[in-house]
Amino acid sequence: MPTSAVERIGVVGCGLMGSGIAEVCARAGRDVIVVETGRGAADAGLRRLTGSLDRATAAGKLSAPDRDAALARVTVTTDLEALADRDLVIEAVAEDEAAKVAVFGRLDATVRRPDAILATNTSSLPVIRLAAATARPQQVIGLHFFNPVPVLPLVELVPSLLTGEDTTRRARSFAADVLGKEVVQAADRAGFIVNALLVPYLLDAVRMAESGAASAADIDRGMRLGCAHPLGPLALADLIGLDTTRAIAESLYEEFREPRYAPPPLLDRMVDAGLLGRKSGRGFHTYR
């Protein structure tokens, strides 16, 4: 099936990542159905997506008619059966293996198109574990977007050992040609390219703050001004979400058993306390 036929997109989850993925697909002219677990989460996700489109319009990056057209292409529902006719479904639920495996099992039973692509936005979990929950592992692939999805240009394309060549080609072409993303291809190993390199750096920054070697503010200021990074490592961890950062670290440590991947105790305590970063209003820094 040519990529031009990938017109109907499904997204499972409408949090920060799911709403962003839905937005870029809608702005690319695709019909999008987003599924959430409950009406409250669905309404919150639609507000998040609408707010992002409004900000893009206010900044002059999107015209008002294009904003309205994109929003009209998006349906947010709690009914997974609504994804039955989708050409491509992208899972974007929390970075929890059991939750993602359950989603893929349900998608396998729900999505009826025999050539549909089932993709995961996982940032660290091996794709093959999710593909194994389906009877069509050759059609399962990783499409890892980066937050904020409408702004950051990268997508990591992650075929598993069982992903078919046609699925890889179509997924790459959709991300690059339809969404206009830059695509890098990674092997199906925990962390892929970006997080395998990034997360140890973030964890080292947490350990530095934990040891009292420097304050969170000075660690971030040092890396911004000394290395020209747009965000310091602790501010970046806050943006990613400290719970997500910990989940990625746990996945990396489970696979490689290297001490540098182990979540520091401070990170564990902050997540346990609900100090998750920007999305909770407080992490290593405070957000109002």
Residue 213 has what pLDDT?
98
Residue 162 has what pLDDT?
98
pTM of structure: 0.91
Q: Judge whether 14 and 46 are in contact, CB under 8 Å.
A: yes
| Interval 245-258 mean pLDDT | 95
| Interval 22-34 mean pLDDT | 98
Residue in 248, 32, 64 with CA at minimum distance from that of residue 147: 248
Q: Is 239's pLDDT higher than 80?
A: yes
The pLDDT tens digits for 147-159 are 899 999 999 999 9
288 pLDDT band, cuts 50/70/90, is: confident
The pLDDT tens digits for 61-92 are 999 999 999 999 999 999 999 999 999 999 99
Distance of CA 181 to the CA centre of its chain: 14
13 — alpha (psi -120 to 50), left (phi > 0) or beta?
Answer: left
SS (H, E, C) the chain: CCHHHCCEEEEECCCHHHHHHHHHHHHCCCEEEEECCCHHHHHHHHHHHHHHHHHHHHCCCCCHHHHHHHHHCEEEECCHHHHCCCCEEEECCCCCHHHHHHHHHHHHHHCCCCCCEEEECCCCCCHHHHHCCCCCHHHEEEEEECCCCCCCCEEEEEECCCCCHHHHHHHHHHHHHHCCCEEEECCCCCCCCHHHHHHHHHHHHHHHHHHCCCCHHHHHHHHHHHHCCCCCHHHHHHHHCHHHHHHHHHHHHHHHCCHHHCCCHHHHHHHHCCCCEHHHCECCCECC
Question: How far is it between the farthest Cα atoms of the chain?
Answer: 57
20 pLDDT band, cuts 50/70/90, is: very high
CA geometry: angle 257, 263, 269, nearest 5 deg: 150
Instruction: Please identify every residue annotated as catalytic.
Output: 123, 144, 156, 195
Catalogue all structural domains in the chain, each as residue range(s) with its CATH number: 3-185 (3.40.50.720), 195-280 (1.10.1040.10)
Q: Judge whether 234 and 205 are in contact, CB under 8 Å.
A: yes
The pLDDT tens digits for 175-221 are 999 999 999 999 999 999 999 999 999 999 999 999 999 999 999 99
Return mean pLDDT, the chain.
96
Residue 217 has what pLDDT?
98
